[in-house]
Structure 1
C-alpha cells in the first residue's frame, strides 16, 4: 500500500513558519520532498493536507500541491508498470531525476562516468570517452546539453559535422558507439527513460568502416623476422615487438607493454587480454624465446619484460599516457622497417594481429581454431574478421578459370 500527502514539518524555520513537504509512504516507511511553500498552523488543514481559507491565494497554492501529488502518482504508476517490485529508493531516484535538471545534463554524467573508468583502471575507455565528450561539446557549442537534446536529427547532423572534418566511417563509428554506450549507462542507472533512446532510429551499423583490415602475407612477416638491422639498432625494439605480437596470437601493444616476467612460466605465457578480459595461455615458440632471451640479457631491473613502462609503480593514467606516447613512436619505426623490407603495405602495431590470422588462413587452418586462438567470443566474429583480410586465396582460386 502506498499513500501520498502534503504535510507540515514540525521544525520551525527562522521566520516563524513551517516548511510543507510531500510525504510518500510505503510499507510503513516514508519519503519527504520539499515543496515551494511554507505555512503557520493557522493556515494549514492537517487532515486534508491543504491550505485553508485563512491563507492568501490558497486556491492556487492548493492546485500546485495537488499537481505535485499527481506527478508523484504518475511516477509510481510507471514504476509499477515497469517493475514487479519497487522500493522507496526507486521512487526517490525517479522523482529527483525528473525534477532536477542537473541529472539531465549529459556533461555532468559523462564526467562522473569518465572518473569511474579512470578509478577502475580502464584508462583507454576513459580516453575514448573524453575525446568524444570534447568533440560533442565543440559541435553543440552548448555549456549544458541535456539527454533529450540528442535526437536522431542531432546525430545525423553530428555525423555530417565529423565528415566535414575528414572523419572516416571508422572514426565516426567510434564516436557514435561511445555516445550509445553513454545512453545505455544512463538508462541502466535510471537517469533517463528508454523512450529517450535515439539509437533506435539512428543506426550505427550503416558505418561499415574501420576501413578494410590490413594484413601481411606470411612471406612478408618472414622478411621482417629475418631483416638484418645491424645498421639500424634504433629499430630493433620495434621489430621485436612486432614479431613477438605475431607469434603470440596477435597480442596487442597494451598487453605486451604490461607483460611481466612472472607471467612466463614453464614455456608458457599467461596473461589476461585488457580489451576482452579473456585469459590466454600461449606456448613460447622459438622466435618468442629469442626475444625473451634478448630482454633478459638487456633488462633494466623492471618487473616488465619490455622497456616500455620504465617504473614498476605507475598510475593507470600514467600508463595510458606512456602507451599513447610510445605507440606513436613504435608505429613510426614499423613504417621504416617496412620500407627497408620493401613492403609497400601500411604496417602498424595492429597489423601483427591481422597478419597472424591471415597467415593461419593461408596455411589452411580452420576458422574455428583461428577463432579460439584469437579469443573471439564466437565464430561469426572470426568469419567477419577474416572476410576483411587479404584476398590472396580468393585471387589464387580464380586463376583456375584461366
Structure 2
C-alpha cells in the first residue's frame, strides 16, 4: 500500500516558517520531496495536508500542492502499468527525474554521450556528435535546449538554417540521424517519454546524399596494383592502402589505420569495424598478403600494420587529428594515382569499397553474400547500396533493343 500526502516538516527556518514536503510512504518507509512553499504552524492544516485560510493566497497554493500530488500519482500509475511491481526507490528515481528540470537539458546529456563514445573507442561517432552539438548550439545562439523543445517544427527550422548555410541533403541527414540517435538513447534511459519522439512526424529518410557512389572495374584495380610507381615513390603507400582495402572486403581507412599485427593470425584477419562494431574474419588473398609482407619487412617497431599511426599510445584527440589529416592526404594522393595510372573515374578512399561490392555484383555473387561480406545490418541496405553503383550490366542488357 502506498500513500501520498503533503506535510509540514518540523525544522524551523530562519524566517520562523516550516518547509512543506511531499511525503510518499510505502511499506512503512517514506521518501520526501521539498515543495517551493513554507508556512507558519497556524497556516497549515496537518490533517488535510493543505494551507488554511490564514495563509496568503491559500487557494492558489493548495491548487499547486494538489498538482504536485497528481504528478506523483501519475508517476506511480505509470510504474504500476509498466512493471506491475515497483520499489520505493524506483518511485523516488522516477519522480526526481520527472520533477528535476536539469534532467531534461539536452547539452549536458549530449556531452555525456560523447564522453561515453570516446571511452568506448568509437572516435568517429564521438567526433560527429561533437560537431553536430556545436552546430545546434550555433543555431540556438548558445541558448540552453531541452528535449521538450526538440519538436518537428524545431527540426524543420534547423534544416532551413542548415540549408541557408550551404548544407546538402547528405550532410543534413547525418546531423538529423545524430539527433535521432541521441533522442532514442534518452528514451531508452528513461530521460524522456516516448510520446515526445519528434521523428514520427519529421522523417530523416527524406535527406538523400548528393554524392554519387563510384566504382571502377576489376581490370582497373589490377592495373593500379601492378603499376610501376618507382618514379612516384610518395604514392606507393597510398596505392597499397587502396588495393588492400579492395581485397579485404572494402576495409575503410579508419580500420586500416588501427589494424594491428596481432589482428593477423595465419591466413586470416580478425577485426571489429569501427563504424558498425561488426566483427570480421577475412581470408587474406595473395594481393593483400603481398602488401602485409611489404610492411612486415620494414620492422618499424609499432603494433600497427600500416605507417599511418607512428606510435602506439595516442590520446583520443591525437587519433582523431591524425586520421583526419591522413585521410585528406590519402584522397589527394589517390587523385594523383588515378592520373598516373590513367584511370578515368576519380578515385577516393571509398571507391575501393564500392568497387569491391560492384565487382562481386558483376560476377553474379548473390546480394545476401555481398551484404554479409560488407557487414551490412540488413539486406535492404545492400540493395540500396548496389543500386547506386555501376549499371554496366543494365547498359549491356539494353543493347538487345538495338
TM-score by length of 1: 0.92
**SS of equivalent residue, structure 1 residue 190:** coil
Residue by residue over 1:27-47, the C-alpha shift from the partner in whole angstroms, topping out at 9 and shown as x without a partner, is: 443221111223455544433
CA 1:61 to 1:208, structure 2 compared with 1: closer, same or farther past 3 Å? closer
Structure 2 match to 1:366: 366
Shift of 1:86: 3.8
Contact 1:257-1:309 within 8 A present in 2 as well: yes
Alpha-carbon RMSD across the aligned residues, in angstroms, is 2.2
Aligned length: 402
Structure 2 match to 1:121: 121
Say yes or no: does 1:206 pair with 2:206: yes
Note the 1:80-159 alignment, pairs <5 A. Answer: 80-159=80-159
Shift of 1:97: 3.6
CA 1:359 to 1:190, structure 2 compared with 1: closer, same or farther past 3 Å? same
Structure 2 match to 1:338: 338
Structure 1 match to 2:162: 162
d(CA) in 1 for partners of 2:161, 2:14: 54
Note the 1:46-65 alignment, pairs <5 A. Answer: 46-52=46-52, 55=55, 58-65=58-65
Contact 1:169-1:211 within 8 A present in 2 as well: no
d(CA) in 1 for partners of 2:11, 2:348: 69
CA 1:29 to 1:120, structure 2 compared with 1: closer, same or farther past 3 Å? farther
Moved more, 35-44 or 172-181: 35-44
Residue by residue over 1:146-183, the C-alpha shift from the partner in whole angstroms, topping out at 9 and shown as x without a partner, is: 22222222222222222222222211110111111111
Structure 2 match to 1:294: 294
Structure 1 match to 2:242: 242
Structure 1 match to 2:221: 221
Residue by residue over 1:297-323, the C-alpha shift from the partner in whole angstroms, topping out at 9 and shown as x without a partner, is: 223100111111111122333222221
Contact 1:4-1:24 within 8 A present in 2 as well: yes
CA 1:391 to 1:56, structure 2 compared with 1: closer, same or farther past 3 Å? closer
Residue by residue over 1:196-226, the C-alpha shift from the partner in whole angstroms, topping out at 9 and shown as x without a partner, is: 2111111111223263321111122122112
Structure 1 match to 2:311: 311
d(CA) in 1 for partners of 2:124, 2:98: 32
Contact 1:114-1:126 within 8 A present in 2 as well: yes
**SS of equivalent residue, structure 2 residue 32:** strand
Shift of 1:22: 0.5
Shift of 1:365: 2.1
Say yes or no: does 1:324 pair with 2:324: yes
Note the 1:250-261 alignment, pairs <5 A. Answer: 250-261=250-261
Structure 1 match to 2:384: 384
**SS of equivalent residue, structure 2 residue 349:** coil
Contact 1:23-1:32 within 8 A present in 2 as well: yes
Shift of 1:246: 0.6
Residue by residue over 1:254-291, the C-alpha shift from the partner in whole angstroms, topping out at 9 and shown as x without a partner, is: 11111111111112111122222222221211111111
d(CA) in 1 for partners of 2:282, 2:141: 49
CA 1:69 to 1:368, structure 2 compared with 1: closer, same or farther past 3 Å? closer
d(CA) in 1 for partners of 2:41, 2:380: 71
d(CA) in 2 for partners of 1:123, 1:40: 57
Contact 2:20-2:34 within 8 A present in 1 as well: yes
Contact 1:9-1:21 within 8 A present in 2 as well: yes
d(CA) in 1 for partners of 2:30, 2:323: 52
Contact 2:123-2:316 within 8 A present in 1 as well: yes
**Where in structure 1 are there 5+ consecutive unaligned residues?**
none
CA 1:272 to 1:60, structure 2 compared with 1: closer, same or farther past 3 Å? closer
TM-score by length of 2: 0.92
